[in-house]
Amino acid sequence: MRIISGSKKGYMIHAPRNLPIRPTTDRSKESLFNIINNNFDLEECNVLDLFSGSGNISLEFASRGTKSITAVDLHSGCVTFLQQEAKKLEFDNISALRADVMQYLRNTEEQFDIIFCDAPYTTWTKYEEMVRVILDRKLLTEEGWCIVEHHSVVKLDHIPEVFDRRAYGQNIMSFFKLPELVS
């Protein structure tokens, strides 16, 4: 894994082997950030990275000058690793929290411009519930996006707020926004 653009472009992320992670591939990440860069001014964005794992996505956002990033993961090793990497790279815009994602979503009062969700493919079954909580609680800003990375066997196209879907092999990125903005 590496940071593909921004102030720390080329930095290699060497996560410990004992972390339960499945990082977003460089190809998917590059495509994702091309889409994001064409639609958002990252210097003005508040980002929520759910199931942050190695911090691959959070570190990429930070390298690109994102205003603030909140990274949530239940695994303490993942949170500690991301905190160490953020400190090493002098990214003071990353806040890494150890929490259950659904509890965090049900309790936070913050709004975000971008919410990125990369749940564990083999064990997570609450994709639709997660998207519903994000949209129903209006955790997105008015023009915000929720981006869910999932395996192709998981179908989210029936959710009315989906407005785009991109396939990268077996990986799918589904894009959601508040209902009044979906056309």
Residue 12 domain-assigned (yes or no): no
Residue 1 domain-assigned (yes or no): no
pLDDT level of residue 124 (50, 70, 90 thresholds): confident
Residue 94 domain-assigned (yes or no): yes
Burial of 17 (0-12, 13-18, 19+ CB in 10 A): exposed
Residue 98 has pLDDT above 90, yes or no: yes
Mean per-residue pLDDT over the chain, rounded:
90
Of residues 49, 113, 109, the one with CA closest to residue 82: 49
Overall average pLDDT of the 41-57 stretch: 94
pLDDT level of residue 68 (50, 70, 90 thresholds): very high
**What residues contact 88, with CB distance under 8 A and at least 6 apart?**
none
The domain that holds 62 is classified in CATH as: 3.40.50.150
Residue 99 domain-assigned (yes or no): yes
